[in-house]
Every structure is written in C-alpha cells, then in structure tokens.
Structure 1
Amino acid sequence: MTLLAVHDLAAARGGIRAVEGVSFTLDPGEALILRGPNGIGKTTLLRCVAGLQPAAGGRIEMTEDSVAYAAHADGLKAALTVTENLRFWARIFGGESVDQALAAMDLTALADRPAAALSAGQKRRLGLARLMVTGRPLWVLDEPTVSLDAVSVQRFAEAVRTHLAQGSAALMATHIDLGLEEARVLDLTPYRARPGRSGRPAGFNEAFA
C-alpha cells in the first residue's frame, strides 16, 4: 500500500512556480530526502504535501489525516511543561502514552520543565517528540535537525528508523547526513521551474495561503 504518491507536482512561492514536474511515491518503510540549493522549493513542496498550500499543478494522493508535519516552528505552548505539551498533542491526535517519545528524544529528565525554560535544542527535541505521539504514518519534515547537537541528530535518526520499521514513511528536506541507508535522495535541481511561470491555481487567493 502506497502511503504517498506525488504526480507531476508543481509548487509555487509568491505566485511564481519554484519546481514543476516532480513525481515520486513513498511506500511503508520508505524515506525520501529532498536536496537542492537554498530557494529551490523544498519547503514549498513540503507545504503542498502537508496540505498547507495548494499545488500549482499535478496531484497528491494519500490517505486523509495521514500526515504529521514539522517545520521551523516547534509548535509548543510555552506555559506548559514538556510532558503537558506532549499530552496535549497526544489528545489532539488520539495518540497514546508520551513516555516513549520522552525517552526517544532524551527528555525524561526535563519532563516537568516549562517549554519556555528550554534551550533552542531542547525545544527542537520536544517539537520532534511531538511527531511520535500523533500516530500519523507519514512524517513530513522541513530541516528537522536545526539547533540539534550531534548526539541529538543521531537520536532523531534512530526515531526515524523506528518509525519506518513500524511500516510508516518519512519525507524530509535536510542537508545533514542522517546515516539512513534506507532513505532515497531526490535532488530538486532538475525540476526548477522555467522563469516567470505563474503558480496560482485557478480560484486561488494568495491572501489566504
């Protein structure tokens, strides 16, 4: 069963196409890493897959409510503790115990600390732990290792391996080598859109993007 199928996708930023003609699939147990220079359209493509903006062309096929998305914002509530943040997201997504997520990202000792008192790296680890309590099979990740030290990067990579081993999948943009031998790499450079091509789908009002 394919978890994600992208067909001839075009993604636009600011009304101008960034990439076009992108096609790939992700089956259970697979990971795909997007590469390419800054500004090529990696974030824009991920936002389309996550449903945060419409594609400028092509189509995306996946099961409804299958995506957990993590970008540069960690999605944390500053006044809540580490555990309370994870429990909040677990309730939202119908997930289960947060203990495994705490342990996976080395947050157990910080369980009762307010998110506002965490360092940048600790906040990032908590934001990634949030993925683990969603129960969603497809992780869509935009530069997930920002602010992480080398040990935390390896912890995250192991969390991705566990996720894949459970029959799930991951799509991510990162310049870091995560050591995921099972991951495929897709360089978006050949898919750069021709200059000046409009990226506004019919009826799309960019004010609401």
Structure 2
Amino acid sequence: MNINSDTKTICLLGHPIKHSFSPTIHNYLFEKYFENNIYVCFDIKEDKLKDCVYGIKALDIKGCNVTIPHKVNIIKYLDSIDDNAKLIGAVNTIKNKGGILKGYNTDGRGFVKSILDKGYDIKNKKVMIIGAGGACRSIAIELASGGVKSIEIRNRSLDRANEIIDSINNNFNTEANCSKDAINRSCLMDIDILINT
C-alpha cells in the first residue's frame, strides 16, 4: 500500500473496537482494486462522539462505518439521514460529501442485494421473517422499499414486531403483520421468501 498526500481516510467508529477485522478486509480490497484509501479504527467513547463528528468534517474523512454503541446516538450529529435509515432508527455508514455528512443503514440493503444478485426478484413477493430484532427491522424496511407484496414477522413477543410492522404499514405499499404462532408447513405454503434473523 502506497500512502501519499492523495490518500483518503475511511474509518470505523465504535467502542470497544480493537477486535475488528474491518481494517484487514478493507485495506486488502483497497490495495487489490488500486483505491488510494486507508481504513482505520477509532475507539470513540460516547462523551467524545460529537467531537468525533466535527473531526470527520475537519479532517475531510471520506466516510465511516459505525458500530456499537454509536449506531443510534450518532444520528443527532449528522447533517442528513437516508429515509430508510430514519425508519430503521440506526446508522452504520456515513458518507462525507463536501463536509455534509449523510447517514445510511446498509444492513438490510446488503441482504436484499444478495437476493437480487442471485437473480431472484422481490417485487410482489410474500415474505416471512423469523425474529424481530435489529436485523429484522433493517431487512424488512429494505424489502418494503423494494416492493414486496407482504411481510409477516413471527416472533415470541409482539412488541418489537408491532413497531416494525407499523413503520412498514405507515410508509410503504407493503402489507405487514405479525404473529407469535408456531411455524408449520401450512403457513409456509403461501410464502415466497423465508428469512431467519
């Protein structure tokens, strides 16, 4: 890797951070594809998060990934948030365009892209998701954004599932519902895509 005055910094923000494999993965890919970037980790405690965001702008850091515990709290310091990230309520990626920091959530987007890359179409499909945690929320929002016909969430408790389906029903043309019923063969007969989160 040849670091010079044109090298752009991309980073991961989190706490703790030393266990992350992100620098190894990203720097390998930057070198492989001749991208003049370097990827580093910044261990940022909660009381320094606002200062960190100012630093991203001041240092013209190209972009950031965000991990625990900052995915929610960083939102208030950004200039704008992608619509789906607003509905998800968490940001894991930040782009810096001319000092304007925009937050995104790429978890669901990456999952949906993996389905599309395999040649499957999601439009007008009926989806069942097992579990109602953060991965479900992100995936469900992206699926609804992509035009699935319906989403049914199966979970042991309905509080979190209801929050997710309310977001979908209020913002998309996708019909969403939830249940804590056991999954059996008959309930799967009408489902096109089954996702276990």
TM-score range, shorter chain: under 0.3
Structure with the bigger RCO (C-alpha within 8 Å, sep 6+) is 1
Which one has the bigger helix percentage?
Answer: 2
TM-score by length of 1: 0.24
Structure having the higher Rg: 2
For normalisation by structure 2, the TM-score amounts to 0.25
